[in-house]
Amino acid sequence: MDASCIRLPALQPDETAPARVLVADDQPDVLEALRLLLKSEGHVVETANSPGLALAAAREREFDVALVDLNYSRDTTSGDEGIDLLQQILTIDSTLPVVVMTAWGSVDGAVAAVRAGARDYIEKPWSNDRLVSVLRSQCEIGRMMRVARRLEHENSRLREEGRDEIIARSRAMTPVLKLIERVAPSDASVLIRGEHGTGKELVARALHRASRRSEHPLVTINAGGLPDGVFESELFGHVRGAFTDAKSPRLGCFELADGGTLFLDEIGNMPLSQQGKLLRVLQTGEFHPVGSSRVRRVDVRVVAATNADLRAEVRAGRFREDLLYRLNTVEISVPPLRERAEDVTALAQHFMSRLAVRYRKRIDGFTIAAERALREHAWPGNVRELEHAVERAVLLAEGPRLDASDFGLYPAELGDRGALDGLTLDDAEAQLIRRALEKHQGNVSHAAVALGLSRSALYRRLQRHGLSP
């Protein structure tokens, strides 16, 4: 998995299009001054002199950024009207950046607005340069947010085609499915444990799909693969000019996942220096993008995954105990495939059907030898290894049914005394033949020499075991 948030550069915001700005204020001279200023910067401006008109405009048209006053009624200074307008706008379009204005220089009112979801604030009388700079940055961020949401929608549509379906018929998976069903509707943090390749990300996706956040993004990040130099920028984003290469603002994973779910994969590999920074955000829901003094607040459900024993890591001083408690309100353990024998064939059939379509192969099942090989293999790489084995078999298959030799499944090195324990003589012979064919790339003559057989004798054994070179 990539070491950063899932990002697809093919879909980029149109930075050349004029920004569409919604301005709301009860004073006509303020509206006119802002309209002229923003028009001179090439923006398309729509004004509203009341919260009701601003909401109507937000419902009917799409804007890149909204600039709204905190107070509208005469002699009102509380800012409640503006905060209420802000929250209603975000209910209509959660990706629309809202910047608030206050004429009272009230830091408390501005902070309250930011906590309610405002992206930034401007004090009256304003600085033209600062106002233009803030709106430009927020416009870029809003467009990136919309691109991210469209990509997530497309990804969700693809996943609905069955790619991320959990195939589970075994008793070992029953507790996992029950926990997903019970925990998904809540906002509880979930820690998913399991060996590599067991399907921890599928469990995270199932939790998201069954939650009230399913209409919002599921953002995945390899939390254990971020160097210190990019950690904060990837998680919290940065503003333009925050460092040498920051030529434009960037959304971090927390903002991309706002309203949805953030999946922190490989959390057990996160360095201690980064764990404290993550813990602060999980405790408060607030952070500062790199280079910004403005606080950001997000509503994110966190699901984490690891193949490590985090309690042992805590005892060893490599993982913070307080972070573990933040992450594992509920813990789901995904069993390895060797404990899910009943699922192997069903999973293999699922992968075979999908991969046959991808590679345009007419394949309708498995030979008896193939089914036996799938059942007997230990699957140290779990479901991921099974999928790769089926993909190999689909690619190499010469007929309508996948054969055992197509999978390339063999026991441990035969020098290991336990490699053939428990096998019948026929099974052991079949395993030796498979290994010889694999070693010699399917060349029957060379495999026969290696096995001490004649070519015709090897063909007879191939037929008896249902194998194909």
Residue 174 covered by a domain:
yes
DSSP string, 161-211: IIIT-----SGGGHHHHHHHHHHTTS---EEEE--TTS-HHHHHHHHHHTS
Band of residue 40 on the pLDDT scale cut at 50, 70, 90:
very high
Highest mean pLDDT among 100-104, 114-118, 378-382: 378-382
User: Do 443 and 320 have their domain in common?
Assistant: no
CA dihedral over 417, 420, 424, 427, signed as positive or negative: negative
CATH code, domain carrying 68: 3.40.50.2300
User: Do 299 and 363 have their domain in common?
Assistant: no
Residue 130 covered by a domain:
yes
User: Do 309 and 176 have their domain in common?
Assistant: yes
Q: With beta carbons less than 8 A apart as the criterion, state whether 292 and 239 touch.
A: yes
Could you tell me the two tokens for 141? 């961020």
| C-alpha closest to that of 116 among 126, 124, 108, 125 | 108
Band of residue 416 on the pLDDT scale cut at 50, 70, 90:
very low
Q: Which residues, listed in sequence order, are joined to residue 301 by a DSSP beta bridge?
A: 261
User: Do 110 and 203 have their domain in common?
Assistant: no
With a pLDDT cut of 70, the percent of the chain lying above it is 87
| Rounded distance between C-alpha atoms, residue 455 and residue 317, angstroms | 61
For the stretch 436-449, pLDDT in tens is: 887 777 888 888 87
User: Do 78 and 25 have their domain in common?
Assistant: yes
Band of residue 456 on the pLDDT scale cut at 50, 70, 90:
confident
Per-residue pLDDT at 414: 40
For the stretch 349-376, pLDDT in tens is: 999 999 999 999 999 899 999 999 998 8
Per-residue pLDDT at 448: 80
Sorted by sequence, the CB contacts under 8 Å of residue 432 that are 6+ apart come out as 414, 451
Per-residue pLDDT at 11: 39
User: Do 206 and 315 have their domain in common?
Assistant: yes
Band of residue 162 on the pLDDT scale cut at 50, 70, 90:
very low
Per-residue pLDDT at 240: 73
Q: With beta carbons less than 8 A apart as the criterion, state whether 340 and 172 touch.
A: yes
User: Do 313 and 353 have their domain in common?
Assistant: no
| C-alpha closest to that of 236 among 262, 214, 266 | 262
Per-residue pLDDT at 106: 62
Residue 151 covered by a domain:
no
Gap between the terminal Cα atoms of the chain: 35
Band of residue 159 on the pLDDT scale cut at 50, 70, 90:
low
Q: Is 421 helix (H, G, I), strand (E, B) or coil?
A: coil
User: Do 75 and 222 have their domain in common?
Assistant: no
Mean pLDDT for 113-136 is 89
For the stretch 169-207, pLDDT in tens is: 999 999 999 999 999 999 999 999 999 899 999 999 999
Q: Which residues, listed in sequence order, are joined to residue 261 by a DSSP beta bridge?
A: 218, 301
Per-residue pLDDT at 412: 42
Per-residue pLDDT at 187: 94
Per-residue pLDDT at 346: 94
User: Do 350 and 447 have their domain in common?
Assistant: no
User: Do 169 and 287 have their domain in common?
Assistant: yes
Main-chain phi, psi angles of 335, to 5 degrees: -70, 150
Residue 155 covered by a domain:
no
User: Do 310 and 191 have their domain in common?
Assistant: yes
CATH code, domain carrying 373: 1.10.8.60
Highest mean pLDDT among 15-19, 133-137, 418-422: 133-137
- Final residue in a domain of this structure, among 335, 353, 386: 335
| Rounded distance between C-alpha atoms, residue 258 and residue 301, angstroms | 9
Band of residue 42 on the pLDDT scale cut at 50, 70, 90:
very high
Sorted by sequence, the CB contacts under 8 Å of residue 351 that are 6+ apart come out as 386, 387, 390, 391
**Domain of 99, in residue numbers:** 20-143
| C-alpha closest to that of 266 among 173, 200, 312 | 200
Per-residue pLDDT at 8: 37
Band of residue 164 on the pLDDT scale cut at 50, 70, 90:
low
Residue 154 covered by a domain:
no
Q: What is the mean pLDDT of the chain?
A: 84
Band of residue 9 on the pLDDT scale cut at 50, 70, 90:
very low
CATH code, domain carrying 178: 3.40.50.300
Chain length of the chain: 469
Residue 76 covered by a domain:
yes
For the stretch 228-268, pLDDT in tens is: 878 888 899 877 766 767 667 778 899 888 889 999 999 99
Residue 2 covered by a domain:
no
Task: List for the chain the helix, strand, coil content (%; round to 5).
Answer: 50, 15, 40
For the stretch 51-76, pLDDT in tens is: 999 999 999 998 999 999 988 887 67
User: Do 66 and 202 have their domain in common?
Assistant: no
- Final residue in a domain of this structure, among 300, 335, 370: 335
CATH code, domain carrying 424: 1.10.10
135, 137, 180, 258, 310 from 149: Cα distances, Å:
21, 19, 25, 11, 33
Between CA 155 and CA 162, with CA 158 as vertex, the angle to 5 degrees is 130
Residue 1 covered by a domain:
no
238 DSSP 8-state letter: B
The owner of tokens 């345009």 is: 360
Band of residue 153 on the pLDDT scale cut at 50, 70, 90:
low
Band of residue 131 on the pLDDT scale cut at 50, 70, 90:
very high
Per-residue pLDDT at 422: 54
Least confident of 76-90, 269-283, 307-321, 344-358: 76-90
| Rounded distance between C-alpha atoms, residue 365 and residue 358, angstroms | 16
- Final residue in a domain of this structure, among 310, 335, 360: 335
Count of structural domains, the chain: 4
